[in-house]
Structures are given as structure tokens and as C-alpha cells.
Amino acid sequence: MRLQPSVTTSKQLLEQPVILAQHLNHYFGEGDLRKQALYDINLDIYAGEIIIMTGPSGSGKTTLLTLMGGLRSAQEGSLKILGQELNDATKQQLTKLRCNIGYIFQAHNLVTFLTAKQNVRMALELHEQYLDQDMDALSTELLEIVGLGQRVDYYPDSLSGGQKQRVAIARALVSRPKLVLADEPTAALDKKSGRDVVELMQKLAAEQGCTILLVTHDNRILDIADRIVYMEDGRLADHPDLVAAAE
Ligand SMILES: Nc1ncnc2c1ncn2[C@@H]1O[C@H](COP(=O)(O)OP(=O)(O)OP(=O)(O)O)[C@@H](O)[C@H]1O
């Protein structure tokens, strides 16, 4: 496991980063109420890396994650995701980018009137290349991989918290995105389910070669990361405990 700042390997020098932030600032509000939430963020993340972003409440993790996901507009500095510059990006460019990112949020956002399989299938329907494929079979296959082969026709209300989160993982990964962004995916889970969920993400990421950026307060899962990024007061910083542990 490495700590931020990263040591760029020679292999990575040849690659385009999946995420590249340079001098990124972000502000909320206007006029006198304008408040800076992110300060001079510089970060490069490469294909296949699992990055955990951690830090105190209010330090700017979700703001940065939603910027990276094209869910809010980048205002100042540069943010390139999968080669697309997000500062000044058009709505169409953002929409296209969002189709290539898998999202997993704490409140898993499953559609309650759709079954597990239909929830997963929804993610495939966004992609033209899957429209002439057997989307039900692909969705079932992913649900089997996450251990829900016996629950494909269940509605979210009849699944446990861990099972719902696994449906959300299946939905995020079924279209084989190059980038998965996860915000507190284990927050609502007990220790064992939380561990199972992140190990599953780790396994699937390795198999599919995708990059995972995971925001968490959950210290129990830090060991799955290739690299830990720590945020404090809107800035990337060295993690105090982890630095001490590494010394
Ligand atoms: N929509 C918004 N309008 C105004 N200020 C906001 C908005 N969203 C976030 N902020 C502010 O930006 C700062 C960073 O918030 P953010 O939610 O990114 O932190 P966080 O590290 O994700 O926190 P938590 O761990 O509690 O989720 C905070 O001071 C917060 O109050």
C-alpha cells in the first residue's frame, strides 16, 4: 500500500492516467457566501488501481468524487477523467462520460419497483453495444458473481443491506466500466458484510481491469487499497496515522 503523494512507476509514465486533477479548486455559493471547498488538488490515478480516499467529515471527499464523476461542473483548474477534460465540458460530453463510469453510493439507489435483475439490466440499457445482446443473461451472470444467483427476481425491499449493496455493485460493474466511483459503500453494513462487499469489488476490479476510487470512513477496509489519499480541509494531505505507521 502506498501513501499519497504517489510514486509514479515507469509503466505508469507510459499510460494516460484514468483520473488527472491539476490545480483543481472548487467553490460553493456566490458573492459574500462563496466558500472554497477544494484547494489546489493535484492527483493522478492509473488503470487498475484501487484508491481509497479518506479524511474527516466536511473535508471535501464527496465534492471531489462528484466532480470526478461528472455529477457537478469543474470550475477552476483541470480535471481529466478517461481523457475527457471536465472544466468547460458540454452537457453531452458529461453525459457520455457518465455512461462509462460505475457509481456505488451509500444509499445504493436501487429502484424499488424493479427486481435485482432489472436494476442491473438498467445499467446495460444505457449502452448501445449491449442492446442486441442478451441483457437478462448478462445481468443474471453478474448477480451470480456477487453471490445473488438465487435472488435475481427479488425486489430490493426483500433483500438485506449487504445484498442490496451487492446488487448495486453488480449494477455498477455489469457494463465493464473503466472507472468505478464508490461513496461510503460499506457505511450501512455490518463488519462482515462490509468486508465481503469490498473484497468483491477488489476481485471484480482485478478481473475487469477497472480503476476504483472509494471514499470511506471505514478504517477496517483500508488494506484493500493500492494507495490511500487523505483529505483535510479541502486539501490533499499526508494521513497522520498512516505516515506514523509507515515510518
Ligand atoms: N451543495 C453544497 N453547498 C454548499 N456547501 C457545500 C455543499 N456541498 C458541500 N458543501 C461544503 O463543502 C465542504 C466539503 O463537503 P463534502 O461533503 O465534500 O465533505 P466530505 O469530506 O465528503 O464529508 P462527509 O465525510 O461528511 O461526507 C463542507 O464544508 C460542506 O459543508
3-state secondary structure of 153: coil
CA–centroid distance, residue 182 to ligand 1 (Å): 16
Buried b (16+ CB within 10 A) or exposed e, 138-167: bbbebbebbebeebbebbbeebebbbbbbb
**Nearest-angstrom CA–CA distance, 123 and 97:** 14
Q: Considering the chain, what is the average pLDDT of its residues?
A: 86
Phi then psi dihedrals of residue 156, to 5 deg: -50, -35
For ligand 1, atom 16: residue with the closest CA: 60
- Contacts with 135 (C-beta within 8 Å, 6 or more apart), sequence order: 121, 124, 125
Q: Is 63 in the pocket of ligand 1 (CB under 6 A)?
A: yes
Q: Amino acid letter at 108?
A: H
Quick one: which H or E segment has residue 84? strand 84-85
Ligand 1 probe mutation, 59, 64, 75, most atoms within 8 A of CB: 59
Domain edges within the chain: 47-72+90-246
How far is the C-alpha of 79 from the C-alpha of 75, rounded, in Å? 9
> Residue of the nearest CA to atom 4 in ligand 1?
28
Residue type, 15: E
Helices (H) and strands (E) in the chain, counts: 8, 11
220: amino acid identity, one letter:
R
C-alpha cell at 115: 427486481
Low-confidence ranges of the chain (pLDDT < 50): 5
Q: How many angstroms separate the CA atoms of 101 and 104, rounded?
A: 10
pLDDT of residue 243: 56
Measured CA to CA, the distance from residue 86 to residue 37 in angstroms comes to 18
Q: Which residues contact 12 (CB under 8 A, 6 or more apart)?
A: 44, 46
CA distance 168 to 117: 11
pLDDT at res. 241: 67
Question: pLDDT value at position 116?
Answer: 96
**Which residue in the block uniquely carries the three cell numbers 436494476?**
119
**CA–CA separation, 93 and 122 (whole Å):** 21
Q: Which CATH class is domain 47-72+90-246?
A: alpha beta
Buried b (16+ CB within 10 A) or exposed e, 173-208: bbbbbbbbbbbbbbbebeeebbbbbbebbbebbeee
Å from CA of 112 to ligand 1 middle = 28
Would you call 54 helix, strand, or coil by DSSP? strand
pTM: 0.85
What per-residue confidence (pLDDT) applies to 17? Answer: 92
